[in-house]
Structure 1
Amino acid sequence: MTSPTGAELRRGPFTAGERVQLTDPKGRMHTIALAPGKQFHTHRGYLAHDDLIGAPDGSTIKNTAGVEYLALRPLLADYVMSMPRGAAVIYPKDASQIVMMADMFPGAVVVEAGVGSGALSMSLLRAVGETGRLHSFERREDFAEIAKANAREYFGADHPAWTVTVGDLVEALPRTVENGSIDRVVLDMLAPWECLDVVADALAPGGVLLCYVATATQLSKVAEAMRDADLFTEPQAWETLVRGWHLEGLAVRPQHRMHGHTGFLITTRRLAPGVTPPLRKRRPGKGYVTGEEATEQDWTPEAIGERVPSDKRVRRVVRSVTDTSPLA
């Protein structure tokens, strides 16, 4: 009997119905679902699925033209990049950061808003395990159906720890969970600052809130909203850039292409009820303003966080570059 978390599908010989990743001699990958009697065709011959069913993971197989393929089970990172998509997925490089930096753990009770195609959901389900709970919220019913189908395909069944609710987080979250019962919250949405009050109510003291946003303006606004709420610790933000390396004999060098900016991650933690955050020792920059509200006074070096040199320092530098007196 297959486990609802799909553990049995990750080991043992290939079986009918599961996905297999085929890599040709040039490194091109093809993902197929094994079915008795079917064939995988390319412009250079074909191979029979029956020759793979029952073969061990990590096998090689030749097609009718003698082209050799390496057959492996796709890793979760491979699967989410090739599965059907309704919405853009959170890339594995960001999903791995979310799992670690939001401190997901077995048994955790997690809220996720913005399911998309389910890529992050599967990483979160892997982290919380059968003893945890993942409450996912998605506004679009069609996206929710695609996400559930992708997860069902990967795990082999509906994951027992997962609940997907179609609706707006602000309205649905208070009806779904008890106040102070959530360990972690991940928000992947356009305006996460609109949800901070209900998220704060749901989070247990010390619980982690992580937001994934695409643009610097979103990042700025959610950071200022976190500070203004007086319910969270000082937020921390970063992005992850991944560059692969070419490995061929002595030709070891960075690859010309890299996985650059996909999104920003920003985290904060819920303070205990009645506690206000300590005063920041650093002088904060000017609060967020929209493009329509911004004035000439808003766009100052101080407002955008630049270090402004003192007049005394500037005068000293001017003297040093304009001093034309002859050397002694």
Structure 2
Amino acid sequence: MPKQGELVLLISPRGKRYMRRVEPENDIHGTDGLLKMTDIMEAGYGSVVYTHKGKPYRVQRPALHDLVTGVKRQTQVIYPKDIGYICMKLGVGNGTKIIEAGSGSGSLTMALSWFAGDRGEIHTHEARLEFMNLCRRNLDWAGVGQNVTLYNHDISNGFLINDADALFLDVRDPWEYVRHIPSAVKPGAMCGFLVPTIDQVSSLLVELEKGPFDEVEVSELLLRKWKPVPDRMRPSDRMVAHTGFLIFCRHQEGLEEINAQKSLGTRERKQEAARLERLGLSSIPEDALCGGIGPVDGDEADDDGGLCED
């Protein structure tokens, strides 16, 4: 049964969803009639209650998805389809210590708090005081955030926490802050970024090339639902398409020693020469980069099969 102070999700016969705090005086008044909170408390989760006009409402316990999509917004929020992948890539679990920057309305902060558990720590930095306060209100509203510390802080001066297990930046120009990451996270920590445009992705990748970062990944997640009609299955008319590019990498020391041992094909040699040129370093000799090993990570084969030219 819903307890006083909890959030409860009520769904009307037409599918409209209401999130309400369970308080005896918090009745719902609408076109379907009066829905008494005392009736909801007595009915319990997974049951049906009726308005005074006889309209049935389903009573449900809000899931994390409901909480994330139900936050009060003053900023663009991170969508659930991205949040799930972010938490998996960062390895968020009970006891993990996470640095976040760009708290915004707190949708990701809420999920990080949920997954990090009572032994975890979420340290979120927000430069604008009004957004930091909004994030805290949304955390309190959702009943999470006991493991979250909020900082009204501009990360251009660095992060206020170190020795973190993972880090995520949702800021306009993340490449400006990459230099502060190595001193804030543990060796081998996963780092993630969210940006909306491909130009921002390119600027970030150029900065990540300077190291010490490895296992760089750029992703875009699209969610298309299907209409659940057994004899007429087809995609829904709308989908959640582009909401942002996700970039992940791992903080990794000793990369120069590792790269020196790699055998590269033609394409990889050209890519390495371009990288060195961007970094203002001298190009390494062709024979030092020539190993005859084909591409990795699913890249297509080189025209010459990855063999060195005579």
TMscore range, shorter length: 0.7 to 0.9
Identify the residue that residue 205 of structure 2 maps to in structure 1: 223
Distance 1:284 1:271 in 2: 20
State the Cα deviation string for residues 247-279 of structure 1 (Å, max 9, x = none). 124122111111111011111111126855626
Are residues 1:44 and 2:32 paired?
yes
Are residues 1:68 and 2:49 paired?
no
Aligned length: 271
1:135 to 123, 143, 151: 123
Are residues 1:187 and 2:174 paired?
no
Identify the residue that residue 271 of structure 1 maps to in structure 2: 252
Distance 1:127 1:150 in 2: 16
Structure 2 gaps, min length 5: 276-299, 304-310
Distance 2:53 2:86 in 1: 44
Identify the residue that residue 177 of structure 1 maps to in structure 2: 161
Identify the residue that residue 9 of structure 1 maps to in structure 2: none
Tell me the SS of whatever aligns to 1:104.
coil
Distance 1:196 1:172 in 2: 10
Distance 1:132 1:32, change over 3 A: closer
Tell me the SS of whatever aligns to 1:177.
coil
2:227 to 217, 242, 246: 246
Distance 1:28 1:96, change over 3 A: same
Distance 1:243 1:249, change over 3 A: same
1:284 to 264, 268, 271: 271
Identify the residue that residue 288 of structure 2 maps to in structure 1: none
Distance 1:96 1:242 in 2: 12
Distance 1:162 1:247 in 2: 38
| Cα offset, 1:33, TM superposition | 2.2
Identify the residue that residue 29 of structure 1 maps to in structure 2: 17
| Cα offset, 1:92, TM superposition | 0.8
Map 1:7-156 to 2 at 5 A. 13-155=1-143
The answer to whether the Cα contact below 8 Å between 1:15 and 1:54 also exists between their aligned partners in 2 is no
State the Cα deviation string for residues 35-55 of structure 1 (Å, max 9, x = none). 213421222322111111243
Tell me the SS of whatever aligns to 2:271.
coil
Structure 1: 4+ residue segments shifted above 6 A: none
Distance 2:71 2:252 in 1: 39
1:165 to 142, 146, 151: 151
State the Cα deviation string for residues 127-165 of structure 1 (Å, max 9, x = none). 222222111100011111111111112226x50x22111
Tell me the SS of whatever aligns to 2:72.
coil
Tell me the SS of whatever aligns to 2:228.
strand
1:199 to 177, 181, 187: 181
State the identity %.
29
| Cα offset, 1:32, TM superposition | 2.0
Tell me the SS of whatever aligns to 2:193.
strand
The answer to whether the Cα contact below 8 Å between 2:121 and 2:148 also exists between their aligned partners in 1 is yes
The answer to whether the Cα contact below 8 Å between 1:137 and 1:168 also exists between their aligned partners in 2 is yes
RMSD: 2.2
The answer to whether the Cα contact below 8 Å between 1:15 and 1:34 also exists between their aligned partners in 2 is yes
The answer to whether the Cα contact below 8 Å between 1:114 and 1:137 also exists between their aligned partners in 2 is yes
| Cα offset, 1:26, TM superposition | 2.4
Max Rg structure:
1
State the Cα deviation string for residues 142-200 of structure 1 (Å, max 9, x = none). 111111111112226x50x2211111113251xx334xx12101000011111111112
| Cα offset, 1:67, TM superposition | 1.4
The answer to whether the Cα contact below 8 Å between 1:141 and 1:166 also exists between their aligned partners in 2 is yes
| Cα offset, 1:73, TM superposition | 1.6
Identify the residue that residue 218 of structure 2 maps to in structure 1: 237
Structure 1 gaps, min length 5: 1-12, 288-306, 311-328
The answer to whether the Cα contact below 8 Å between 1:110 and 1:184 also exists between their aligned partners in 2 is yes
Distance 1:150 1:65 in 2: 33
Distance 1:105 1:36, change over 3 A: closer
Matched AA of 1:235: V
What is the TM-score of this pair, normalised by structure 1?
Answer: 0.77
